[in-house]
Amino acid sequence: MNFYIKYINPMSEIKTALISVWDKSNLDNLARKLSEVDIEIISSGGTAKFLREKGISVQDVSDITGFPEMLDGRVKTLHPKIHAGILAIRDKEQHIADLKSQEISSIDLVIVNFYPFEATIADEGVGFQEVIENIDIGGPTIVRAASKNFQDVSVVVDPSDYESLIEKISNGALSIDKEFNYNLAKKALSYVAKYDAAISNHLGILNLDNSKNKMPETLTLHYKKSYDLRYGENPHQQGSFFVQDNIAEPCIANSNQLQGKELSLNNIYDADSCLETVKEFKTNACVIVKHNNPCGAAEHKSLLQAYIDARDCDPISAFGGIVAFNNKVEKEVADEITKTFIEVLIAPEYSEDALEILKSKTNLRVLKTPPLSNKKETLMDVKKVVGGILYQDADITSDEDFTDYKVATKRIPTEDEIKTLLLAWKVCKNVKSNAIVFARDNKTVGIGAGQMNRVNSVQLAKIKAKDHYGTEGSVLASDAFFPFRDGVDEAASAGITAIVQPGGSIRDEEVIQAADENNIAMIFVLSLIHI
């Protein structure tokens, strides 16, 4: 049964395969191909039962080990006759002698995937013991062993690799080159790491009574490279785009690029910001982002008009920007978009006519997202700093937060003002601090971003609006409290009629007084009040 090779041999032949999988997708096809070339299949438990039902001959692990499955299946493959058969280096005389002395046969191919831990914990109603029982022990141990000995053993954890394996069948054997084995091993070890990370992270927040904490004591992140970038943030930097597996939230990472040049690092930054902002809106909306900040946003029953309104908030900044829609892009929208230069277009759907028009802009990157939905409460936000990361709840807020606000001033805002304050607030939360947004008539009219003090952000928003929509009769959203009354006085000089802010300043009374003196309605959104 054993076939021994020297490391100088670039190929190995497989005579014996160990198969133990939870995910049995396409397994019968692979196993049948292995059986056809007389590769002996060893298996256990549900996998052995599955293969026999498909008419495929299987030798039980217990027949190899002389030891029965026990402890409700907790112990199956944890035995020296399995692990020695995997770990033995075929060109080491002592290893071979050890195998012979113990009558152990080599195992040349390992096909394993694990209990569905991540799927289990995704069920909100899952009990504590079910979580524990879905921690696979034997599978990761076998995969680590096979990966370590990749020179002599092939290890497959992903059903998508079955076809590549089948293609290698020739002349009555499965011939495997070491580079192929090495790539399989790297993939397998990453699979184990991801699995262990999921277990560690979940148990890190799980208490014995099945209650959950928000933050774990340790955090392990696992991302897979999607593609290399031409360069990083600057031309002298290398960069790659890494993504999470099976992310459910519609995002840039799981969008499909339909046309255009490859995305750059800065494109991805900006596209993410643009998409996350447009997701805030339930009705037809358009958002335009430049250098990671919104430069225009609008709602309208006509998606075309929403685009025009967003663009014309700051047409100079919109040139070469990122444009995102939350609804289907039709022909007339595509026509208008092609009249100017934009870097990236994002939408959940496009008509065929629209796509045909967009093809005229060959460098335009067109992204199609999964269907958009509101952010989920389970999402977390990660930001990198040198030597560590910052980990927090995603900024999950909704229209309902605007039903829970405090009117701080003598004048109560009108219904129209509340509606427009909501639009401004949705955009403001996605503008880099200090953030000020002016809005009127279902669109932004001026945006002040990234200034070192809040009054300068108000002044910048005024400047941005001056040559386009103007500021008279607008409302204002601020992402943080006003530390002094000067920001409100500056807003009053721009003709602002209403303000939304979190509140929480030690000078709130002074700020409120400034609003009252200028007949400005001011609300504090209670969910945002700083504590």
CATH number at residue 147: 3.40.50.1380
Domain presence at residue 414: yes
**399 CA to centre of own chain:** 24
Query: pLDDT for 106-116, tens place per residue?
Result: 888 999 998 88
What percent of the chain stands above pLDDT 70?
A: 93
Residue 2 — very low, low, confident or very high, per pLDDT cuts 50/70/90?
very low
Domain presence at residue 390: no
Residue 339 has a pLDDT of 95
Q: Are residues 32 and 118 in the same domain?
A: yes
Domain presence at residue 220: no
For residues 33-46, average pLDDT: 86
For residues 497-514, average pLDDT: 95
Q: Are residues 453 and 312 in the same domain?
A: no
Q: Are residues 491 and 343 in the same domain?
A: no
Q: Are residues 289 and 142 in the same domain?
A: no
Please list the active-site residues: 148, 291
Query: pLDDT for 77-92, tens place per residue?
Result: 778 888 888 888 888 8
Q: Above 50 in pLDDT, residue 6?
A: no
pTM greater than 0.95: no
Q: Are residues 58 and 183 in the same domain?
A: yes
Question: What is the tally of structural domains in the chain?
Answer: 3
Q: Are residues 188 and 284 in the same domain?
A: no
Residue 174 — very low, low, confident or very high, per pLDDT cuts 50/70/90?
low
Rg (the chain; Cα; Å): 30
Domain presence at residue 240: no
> In the listed set 175, 205, 235, which residue is the last one of a domain according to the structure?
205
Domain presence at residue 244: no
Query: pLDDT for 106-165, tens place per residue?
Result: 888 999 998 888 888 888 888 889 889 888 888 899 999 999 999 889 999 999 999 888
Residue 9 has a pLDDT of 44
Domain presence at residue 374: no
Q: What is the DSSP secondary-structure string of 127-165?
A: -HHHHHHT--SHHHHHHHHHHHTTTT-EEE--GGGHHHH
User: Does 380 or 173 have the greater pLDDT score?
Assistant: 380
| CA distance linking residue 382 with residue 322, whole number of Å | 23
Domain presence at residue 236: no
Residue 297 has a pLDDT of 97
Q: Are residues 171 and 278 in the same domain?
A: no
Q: Are residues 85 and 41 in the same domain?
A: yes
What domain range includes position 428? Answer: 400-528
Residue 463 has a pLDDT of 92
Report whether 281 contacts 316 (CB < 8 A).
no
Q: Is 125 exposed, middle or buried (0-12, 13-18, 19+ CB in 10 A)?
A: exposed
For residues 3-25, average pLDDT: 69
Q: Above 80 in pLDDT, residue 1?
A: no
In one-letter notation, the amino acid at residue 299 is E
Q: Are residues 261 and 336 in the same domain?
A: yes
Tokens of 4: 């021994």
Residue 307 CB-half CA count within 13 A: 27
> In the listed set 171, 186, 205, which residue is the last one of a domain according to the structure?
205
| Alpha-carbon torsion, ordered 163, 164, 165, 168, to 10 deg | 120
Q: Are residues 350 and 488 in the same domain?
A: no
Residue 12 has a pLDDT of 60
CATH number at residue 320: 3.40.140.20
